[in-house]
Each structure stands twice: as C-alpha cells, then as structure tokens.
Structure 1
Amino acid sequence: MDTTVDLRKRVLNYIQNADDKLLRLIQALAETYQSDENTVEHDLTELQKKELDARMESYQNNPENVTDWKEMKDSW
C-alpha cells in the first residue's frame, strides 16, 4: 500500500506532465473536495444512531451470527 508521500509524488508527477484538460479536471476535483470538506452534513439522525447501536449490540451479543456477502447476495 502506498504511503501519503508516495501518493503525493505520483500525483505531482501527473500534474507536472499534465495537459490543460487534465489540469482543469484536477482543479475541479480539488475545488469540489474542498467545498465538501467545508459543509459538514455527515451527522447521523437519532433514528440512524439507534439502529446502529442496536446492530452493534446484536453483533456483540452473538458475533457468530453473521451472514457473509456471497450468502446475502445469493439469497436475493
């Protein structure tokens, strides 16, 4: 897995060799990311918190009672 330093080096290499189109895409992505970081809309509602708490409690009380993803998909 790449470290943050490795990723930065690779991204900077892309930027240094980028044409105008790629630079505009990178700029749009960065601006969107920055804009999203400034608007915190990730708070859970009380109902969502209660549901997560109930699921966690159920799992903690019986961690063997789980269904793997393949089984779940096959059951549909």
Structure 2
Amino acid sequence: MPPVSQARLRRTLRAAEIGIEIAYGAPVTEILRVIREQGARLVVMGSQGRGFIEEIFLGSVSHNVARHSPAAVLLVPAKR
C-alpha cells in the first residue's frame, strides 16, 4: 500500500467524527466497552510515561487499552 500523504491525512482527520464520553467504572473496561460499542477506528489517549519498571508493577490504563483495543490507539506522551 502506498504511503499516505500528509495533506490527505489532514483532510481525513478533519472530517473524522470526534466524540467525548464520561463513563464510570473500571477505566480500562469502560474505555474498551465504548470503543466496541461506538465502532471506533482510532483512539487517542494521553500517557503519563512513568517508565518501563513502573508500568510492569503498577499497570497503565493507556497501555492496557492499547494492548486490548480492537481499534488503533495513538498514545500521546505527557509534557514533562
């Protein structure tokens, strides 16, 4: 498949439907539920970026969503 030009990608993203939902419950479970129910194709999430060792022991909502999501997940690192 040929690479997508930046201009085409911008047009596609500008035309995308964007939604915000506030859910209550276990974060990973609720986010994955919304992804499946809405049929999302792309999810954009912030990531705290605490480091590999902390991620192993503490877990991370964004990384667990990325691992289990049926949609593509774009993780945006937090500003340090």
Same fold per superposition (TM over 0.5): no
Name the one with the larger helix percent. Answer: 1
Name the one with the larger strand percent. Answer: 2
Task: Give the TM-score, by structure 1 length.
Answer: 0.27
Structure scoring higher RCO (CA < 8 A, sep ≥ 6) equals 2
Task: Give the TM-score, by structure 2 length.
Answer: 0.26
